[in-house]
Amino acid sequence: MNSISLTQFASDILLITATLIVYQLFSAIQQRLSAIWFNPMLLAIAAIIPFMLAFDISFEYYFNATKPLNWLLEPAVVALGFPLYQHLSTIKNQWKTIVSLLTLAIIITICVSFILTIVFVAAPEIAVSLSLKSVTTPIGIALTEQLNGNSSITAFAIIIAGLSGALLGPGWLHFIGVHSAKAQGLAIGAASHALGTATVSKISYQHGAYGSLALIVSAVTTAVISPIIITQLSLLFLDM
């Protein structure tokens, strides 16, 4: 009995250590390359999956072993209050405009995502997950769990939304005639959360400020309104 729990403990430590090393390795390479698209989170996931398949480790086993990493999610969300504090003076004059604009845009996008997924994939838990893809991961995951979505699909969708907006967003916005730094930052922060914000922060200071602002405002807005909208949409589409 004792030796079994000891082996269990040893293998848990091994899995956490391996995860940390893989992540740290990719993050060191990213810093060396100074390329934001070389995303350590995405690459660590991509590296760990084949390893698990090769050694026949189930997700439940892995998730249980790496629970301490998952616990750190909540303090990390709290830490996001710091950039918000830094940008409070920027937001003061414009906050009504920004909050109402982002709220409307988010409502439209949640509805479109939900309806498209119901129509083309026909799975309510995936519809919930895809509706929540534009917020920063910890909040997206928390909301997904609250609304009976599928948290690994949400995590996947959030990464794709982040990467697509971060890599193609600035080009797309120039293409449709949005040239101001404020509007570009706000749009990319709203659609592509922390990943997008980190990318555009390198373009200019205003990009970064408006990106962080949008990231946080849209996280709070989504947290408040998505439970209402998604419950209504579910009633509308699934009880027919």
Partner 1 sequence: MLKKNSLLVKNALYSILIIALCLLVGKIIAASLGGLPGSLYGLILFTSVLHFKIVSADKIQQTVAWIISHMGICFVPSGVGIINHFNLLKNHGITIVAIIFFTTFLLLSIVGLWFERITSNTTTNKNDHKPDDKRSSNSEFPSQ
Q: Which of residues 132-191 bind partner 1 (CB under 8 A)?
A: 133-134, 137-139, 141-143, 146, 150-153, 155-157, 159-161, 164-165, 168-169, 172-173, 176-184, 186-188, 190-191
CA separation for the pair 34, 205 (Å, rounded): 18
The piece of 4-12, 114-122, 230-238 that touches partner 1 (CB under 8 A) is 114-122
| CA torsion, ordered 187, 189, 195, 197, to nearest 10 deg | 100
CA separation for the pair 140, 151 (Å, rounded): 8
Q: What is the separation of C-alpha 67 from the centre of its chain, rounded to a whole number of angstroms?
A: 19
Nearer Cβ to partner 1 (4/104): 104
Q: Please pick, from the candidates 10, 11, 33, 67, the single residue that binds partner 1 as defined by CB under 8 A.
A: 67
Nearer Cβ to partner 1 (4/149): 149
Q: Please pick, from the candidates 128, 149, 208, 233, the single residue that binds partner 1 as defined by CB under 8 A.
A: 208
Closest to 114 (Cα-Cα) out of 126, 104, 100:
126
Closest distance to partner 1 from the beta carbon of 239 (Å): 23
The DSSP output letter for 49 is: H
CA separation for the pair 188, 78 (Å, rounded): 22
Closest to 83 (Cα-Cα) out of 214, 236, 222:
214
Closest distance to partner 1 from the beta carbon of 29 (Å): 14
Q: Please pick, from the candidates 198, 226, 230, 233, the single residue that binds partner 1 as defined by CB under 8 A.
A: 198
CA separation for the pair 66, 104 (Å, rounded): 38
Asked whether position 230 contacts partner 1 by CB under 8 A, the answer is: no
Positions 26 through 45 that interact with partner 1 (CB under 8 A):
27, 36, 39-42, 44-45
# residues near partner 1 by CB under 8 A: 118
